[in-house]
Amino acid sequence: MTADPAGLALHQRTLSELAWGLTKGDFTSRELTELLLGRVAQHESLNAFITVTADVALEQADRADRARTRGVAGPLNGLPIVHKDLFCTKGVLTTCGSNILSHFVSPYDATVVERMAEAGAVMLGKTNMDEFAMGSSNETSFYGPVMNPWDTKLSPGGSSGGSAAAVAARLVPAATGTDTGGSIRQPAALTGTVGLKPTYGRVSRYGMVAFASSLDQAGVITRSAEDAALLLRVIAGIDRRDSTSVDHPVPDYVAGISKPVKGLRIGVVRQHFDEGLDPLCAERVKTSLDALNEAGASLIEIDLPSIGLSVPTYYVVAPAECSSNLSRFDGVRFGHRSADPEDLLDLYCRSRGEGFGAEVKRRIMTGTYVLSAGYYDAYYLKAQKVRQLISQDFKNAFERVDVIAGPTAPTTAFAIGEKTDDPITMYLNDIYTIGANLAGLPGISVPCGFATGLPVGLQLVGPHFAEERILACAHQYQQLTDWHKMAPEDFA
Ligand code: GLN
């Protein structure tokens, strides 16, 4: 584990560095928790949190300190974490960024939340997000947009924007997120943090409010690949309560990151550098690829012929699944219920009409349309077939290369309000990330420099269950560069 970084303020330290300090007894979890809760309060204007759970945090911190004294500390003992507000947390508000769930207190914990708590983590709160994780800028949240700590006029990306902003602003060293089309990796890129989306099925979805079940996957946002490895080891693995979680061995991801990149075959997708990518971002990504090349990896140009169809395919499949998943919010069982309905149909219509925001309604309508009898074959079935082609492209590519590297997002952070009137431009933000979701592959975004003062992300995608490999590559890159250590000026 990383040695003690002499002189580094506690809020600047990574999880691994904090774990070291806690083990040595330099500070207690309560001291650390109080300090970070103070920062969370101080920077409330970022709007990164929907709920701050100070009482839970202090109780968990004290418990962690007692466990350490007794010599029974788990792998995350006393370490602070925040959860995206779509992970169910027992006894704590879980809104999913929506008015329809604005009073929902979950009766149980999501598996990810449960596993982290059992490992000794301390939950500071629940982070802001796009409503039902539908968005790329955090602007669809019922609770208002999140500010990007690098420039508060800009969006931190989305949908896990609150998690990314909190980690970038050094309010907390790590956060959970979910990624259906890029919602961990894109905000990580736009805030200069590390975002890991594991293989579909690697981490249980139990207790995650569903958006598009065949694409949703839980992951983490941290400041180092090492920390992502530490957390993945805790949350990965089969869960009998999620039939899509996979019974595949969970390696020691932390031990795995020391593997050098020498000999690694890195695929560079020709289509990724076509028009649409900001030239300054392209330059940063190319420089980072050169650095990996110099460290001994080889760069191999590859083609993903169907990748250009990934955004339209996603915007058929994801809304179709969402229209089905969100039908459970009907004002009857839980969630918002409209007052004084005229009859049952009116209750449904008004509860949903009042509870959902515009983007969610747009997706439900699109999804219902593509699944309707007359259009199912033309849209949904066609999209499923194209999804297969995209998966096959990746499969073919991974016969020649070990990882695929390229940009995470087409631009750096954009202004809040800049793209809200044009959903298509907003959807194109995920052009480089969606392919991995459609194919169920693991991906990670690591900071790889700055363009006009704003962070740029490098994305690494691996074959199924190759988290160890992409984490090692990301970690080795972070040994060569210091981009991930740079903090936004007002949050240093
Ligand atoms: N931005 C994409 C969307 O709006 C992806 C969201 C996500 O990954 N949750 O659907």
Rounded distance between C-alpha atoms, residue 214 and residue 82, angstroms: 25
Burial bucket for residue 485 (CB in 10 Å: 0-12, 13-18, 19+): middle
Ligand 1 pocket check for 335: Cβ under 6 Å: no
Q: What is the mean pLDDT of the chain?
A: 96
Tens of pLDDT, residue by residue over 252-281, are 999 999 999 999 999 999 989 988 899 999
pLDDT at 1: 46
Share of the chain above pLDDT 90, in %: 95
372 in any annotated domain:
no
Q: Which residue out of 84, 130, 163, 196 has the highest number of ligand 1 atoms within 8 Å of its CB and is therefore the one to mutate?
A: 130
CA 133 to ligand 1 centroid distance, Å: 6
327 in any annotated domain:
no
- The pLDDT of 11-17, averaged and rounded, is 97
* Domain with 92 in it: 10-304+395-491
CA 136 to ligand 1 centroid distance, Å: 6
CATH number at residue 78: 3.90.1300.10
CA 302 to ligand 1 centroid distance, Å: 26
Band (pLDDT 50/70/90 cuts) for residue 424 is confident
Domain count for the chain: 1
CA 159 to ligand 1 centroid distance, Å: 6
Closest ligand 1 atom, residue 427 Cα: 1
Ligand 1 pocket check for 98: Cβ under 6 Å: no
215 in any annotated domain:
yes
Closest ligand 1 atom, residue 134 Cα: 4
Tens of pLDDT, residue by residue over 112-171, are 999 999 999 999 999 999 999 999 999 999 999 999 999 999 999 999 999 999 999 999
pLDDT at 274: 81
Report whether pLDDT(221) > 60: yes
3-state secondary structure of 148: strand
Ligand 1 pocket check for 131: Cβ under 6 Å: no
371 in any annotated domain:
no
Model's pTM, two decimal places? 0.97
Tens of pLDDT, residue by residue over 278-310, are 999 999 999 999 999 999 999 999 999 999 999
pLDDT at 175: 98
Q: Which residues are catalytic?
A: 84, 159, 183
- The pLDDT of 94-101, averaged and rounded, is 98
40 in any annotated domain:
yes
- The pLDDT of 297-326, averaged and rounded, is 97
Instruction: Determine contact, residues 199/440, Cβ cutoff 8 Å.
Output: yes
pLDDT at 374: 92
pLDDT at 365: 97
Band (pLDDT 50/70/90 cuts) for residue 6 is low
Rounded distance between C-alpha atoms, residue 6 and residue 125, angstroms: 29
